[in-house]
Structure formats: C-alpha cells, structure tokens
Structure 1
Amino acid sequence: MMRAAPAAARAGCDGVGEHGKIMNEAASETREHRLKRLQMRSWRRGTKEMDMILGPYSDAEIAKLSSDALDAYESLLSENDQDLYQWVSGQVPMPSEHTEILERIRLYHRIW
C-alpha cells in the first residue's frame, strides 16, 4: 500500500510552498494537541528503557516547557533510542543541540 507524501514533500524538496511560506503541519497544531502527540511519542518509543525515561518525564514536565524547549524536546524525540539511552545514562557525551533538554530529563529522574 502506497502512502501519500508529506505536505512538505508535495510542496517541493525544500518544504517551501507558495509565496515562500514554509509548509509545517505542526504550525497549525494547537498546543494541547502537540502536547498529547509528544506524550504519545514519549511513551511509545521502541525500547522499554526509553519508554520508562521519556514517558513519565513527558507526563509530568512537558506542559511546563516554553515553546522553544518544546521544540527542543520534539527534536530529541527524532533521535534513535540507542543514542538517547547512552546520552541520558552518561555512557557517551550528549550532543550540544540536545544538552539542555537532556539535562532536564536527567534532573527529573535524578540521574547524576
């Protein structure tokens, strides 16, 4: 079964639509819907370890995040679980673009 291409792909490879406006489905999404979507993604990862780290954090904390911090959290969710687990657990250094949100998650879970 073939799936339709995302709106950005239909608009062109660069995700820019008519009149130079960036096509972003999330831009029209309400904050409440976005929070629910991110909570679902936090609880349904791919590994149970990351479900147990990100799920409770999202339930308790993401509603308190600013829009910028929420963007950072959403970006973090696009990473694979093996990398996320190593960053959260301190096995490998965190990438600079995710340091702030990962530190919040570690603080929430008291991972020193």
Structure 2
Amino acid sequence: MERDIRLKRLKFRAWHRGTKEADLMIGGFFDAHGAGWTDDELDWFEALLEEQDVDIMAWAIGSMPCPREWDGPMMQAMRSLSYVPLPR
C-alpha cells in the first residue's frame, strides 16, 4: 500500500476511536509523530490500534502496566503527552 494512503487510513483510525479522550490521545499522538515514522513504527502503531482504547490510554498514562510487546520507544513517546492538542 502506498505510504500516503496508509498514513491517511491510520490518521482516520487514530482520530475515530469512540471517545473524545481516546481521540485526543491517540489521534494527537499520530498527528504529532506519524509523518516521520518508519514502516516498522507504522506497523507498531497499526497493530496497537487493534487494542482496546482503555488499555492503550492506561499504558500511556501509566495507570496499568504496559505489556512487553507494546513497551519501548514508541510507548515512551506516547507517554510524554506533550502532543495532546488543547482547545482554546
């Protein structure tokens, strides 16, 4: 699949999670970092989107231990929370 199309699909999936909180966290993370990701990082994110939103958010904010398969540099970046857009 063309990278352009893949990015558009991932952006849609990241921003249409079901709750505003998940949209902001997961979609904001994608918007802040997704364009610069390698194919392997895109694969990681695409697989992460198959997980439950509550789990992803809990791993990112540290309220639940993160499984080994998701823990690493990408989850560390998600934990920074400096990417969440704040409405003004």
Normalising to structure 1: TM-score of the pair?
Answer: 0.68
Query: Quick check: 1:32 aligned with 2:22?
Result: no
Map 1:25-104 to 2 at 5 A. 29-100=1-72, 101-104=74-77
4+ residue segments displaced more than 6 Å: none
Secondary structure, aligned partner of 1:87: helix
Over the matched positions of the two proteins, sequence identity in percent amounts to 41
Could you tell me which residue of structure 1 aligns to residue 78 of structure 2?
105
Higher RCO structure (Cα 8 Å, ≥6 apart): 2
Q: Which runs of 5+ in 2 are unaligned?
A: 83-88
- Structure 2 Cα separation of the partners of residues 102 and 49 of structure 1: 17
Normalising to structure 2: TM-score of the pair?
Answer: 0.84
Q: Which runs of 5+ in 1 are unaligned?
A: 1-28
Select the structure of larger CA radius of gyration.
Answer: 1
- Structure 2 Cα separation of the partners of residues 105 and 89 of structure 1: 9
- Structure 2 Cα separation of the partners of residues 56 and 62 of structure 1: 10
- Structure 1 Cα separation of the partners of residues 8 and 42 of structure 2: 12
- Structure 2 Cα separation of the partners of residues 56 and 91 of structure 1: 19
Secondary structure, aligned partner of 2:65: coil
> What's the CA shift for 1:60?
2.1
Larger % of helix: which? 1
Q: What count of residue pairs does the alignment treat as equivalent? A: 81
